[in-house]
Structure 1
Amino acid sequence: MDTTEIILDALQRAATAHGVHEAEVLGGKYDEQWPQWYAEHMTRTLAGSGYQIVRVDQ
């Protein structure tokens, strides 16, 4: 998988999981903090798959 595919997969997983989160945890309410939630979920998803985001000094 290339970088775009990896990020797309993580976003799709986050979107699915966030829908469940809003429905089950928030009782169907809109999550005002969704960017934070997505970032945390994607960090866990990527780390669980062996990826990490690192800055490359140029």
Structure 2
Amino acid sequence: MLPDDDVTDVLLVVLKKTAAAHGEYEETHLGGEYDEEWPEWYAEHMTQTLRESGYRIVRSSD
């Protein structure tokens, strides 16, 4: 398991990548319109990015 500081760093990198990708998505696919469903888009993109980077979120049994 990663220490909390490392988890925060990983999530921050993924969140920044997702924000940049979503900005491009809004411009190219939505014609610059605000995406009302951005939380769903972010969650899906972050899940995919984490998976591709070898991470997965698991529930602790504690």
TM-score, normalisation: structure 1: 0.97
Tell me the secondary structure at the aligned position of residue 2 of structure 1. Answer: helix
Q: How many residues align?
A: 58
Identity, % of aligned pairs?
55
Q: What residue number does 2:51 align with?
A: 47
Tell me how large the CA RMSD over aligned residues is.
1.0
Q: Which runs of 5+ in 1 are unaligned?
A: none
Q: Which amino acid aligns with 2:13?
A: D
**CA separation in 2, counterparts of 1:47 and 1:35?**
18
- Report SS of the residue matched to 1:50: coil
Cα separation, 1, equivalents of 2:26 and 2:19: 10
Residue type at the aligned position of 2:59: R
Indicate whether 1:12 and 2:52 are aligned: no
* 1: CA distance, partners of 2:54 / 2:61: 21
TM-score by length of 2: 0.91
